[in-house]
């Protein structure tokens, strides 16, 4: 398995990532699955986070609430799978579930790269490249289909420079936002205000 995953990734690392993100196993294309696992692995090893699950959903807001990037990603994946199925079956819309799930699993992978685990602020990479754009670039560099890179690059109302141009990208953009905003709201917080204030402190 090590040779098929590339680099020095070991079986235990593969299993670790698969355990963190169960939606990966629902991607039917084995090559796409391989690339999703490998991109998370490479992002982790490039970062200064000891474990992937230690990264916050938005690192600068760590002190405001407990909410990991892994939990957020899994919530978004679940909603994308559910609503994607509804749109395909009930509305008869063409939804590529492999593309949607790959984008959902990876939409925040770049947060390991753009945020510093020690300071909670931006890394040098994070100062040079914005969230979403960085994730899309990482996906393209790993040889992902442009459809997946677009989903990642267009998913954020705050950070994306381009709007969604596919059903899959539109789903991810809205479900990502409503998921995170709902978690903040349930804890008495306005997500947009928390993010804005957090960014102001580290800019």
List, as one string, the DSSP characters of 77-98. Answer: HHHHHHHHHHHHHTS-----HH
Please compute the mean of the pLDDT values over residues 138-149 and round it to a whole number.
Answer: 98
DSSP state of 115: B
Q: Which 3 state secondary structure label does DSSP give 4?
A: helix
Q: How far apart are the first and last CA of the chain?
A: 42
Decide if pLDDT at 175 tops 90.
Answer: yes
Split at pLDDT 50, 70, 90, the class of 6 is very low
The residues with which 68 forms a beta bridge, in sequence order, are 56
Ordered structural domains, the chain, with CATH: 2-202 (1.10.3210)
Between the CA of residue 115 and those of 32, 143, 185, what are the distances in Å?
Answer: 26, 24, 24
Decide if pLDDT at 202 tops 90.
Answer: no
The pLDDT value recorded for residue 203 is 67
Contact indicator for 171, 84 with CB cutoff of 8 Å:
yes
Decide if pLDDT at 148 tops 80.
Answer: yes
Residues 6+ apart with CB under 8 A from 133: 153, 159, 160, 161
pLDDT tens digits, one per residue of 16-44: 999 999 999 999 999 999 999 999 999 99
- Smallest Cα–Cα separation from 107: which of 76, 140, 152? 152
**Token couple for 134:** 């960085």
**Token couple for 125:** 């990479």
The pLDDT value recorded for residue 201 is 84
Whole-number Å distance between alpha carbons of 15 and 46: 19
Q: Which helix (H) or strand (E) element contains residue 140?
A: helix 133-141
Split at pLDDT 50, 70, 90, the class of 2 is very low
The pLDDT value recorded for residue 36 is 98
pLDDT tens digits, one per residue of 111-133: 999 999 999 999 999 999 999 99
The pLDDT value recorded for residue 41 is 98
The residues with which 56 forms a beta bridge, in sequence order, are 68
Percent of the chain's residues with pLDDT above 70: 96
Predicted TM-score (pTM) of the model is 0.94
Contact indicator for 79, 103 with CB cutoff of 8 Å:
no
């Amino acid at each position: 398995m090590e040779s098929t995953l590339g680099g020095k990734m070991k079986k235990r690392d593969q299993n670790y990532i698969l355990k963190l993100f169960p939606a990966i196993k629902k991607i039917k294309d084995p090559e796409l699955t391989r690339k999703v696992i490998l991109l998370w692995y490479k992002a982790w090893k490039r970062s200064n986070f000891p474990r992937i699950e230690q990264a916050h959903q938005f690192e600068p807001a760590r002190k405001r609430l407990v909410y990991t990037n892994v939990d957020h990603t899994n919530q978004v994946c679940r909603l994308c799978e559910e609503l994607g199925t509804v749109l395909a079956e009930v509305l008869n819309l063409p939804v590529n579930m492999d593309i949607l799930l790959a984008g959902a699993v990876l939409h925040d992978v770049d947060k390991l790269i753009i945020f510093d685990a020690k300071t909670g602020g931006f890394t040098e990479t994070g100062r040079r490249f914005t969230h979403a754009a960085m994730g899309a670039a990482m996906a393209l560099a790993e040889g992902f289909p442009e459809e997946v890179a677009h989903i990642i690059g267009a998913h954020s109302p705050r950070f994306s420079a381009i709007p969604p141009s596919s059903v899959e990208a539109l789903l991810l953009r809205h479900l990502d936002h409503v998921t995170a905003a709902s978690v903040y709201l349930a804890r008495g917080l306005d997500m947009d205000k928390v993010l804005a204030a957090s960014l102001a402190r580290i800019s």
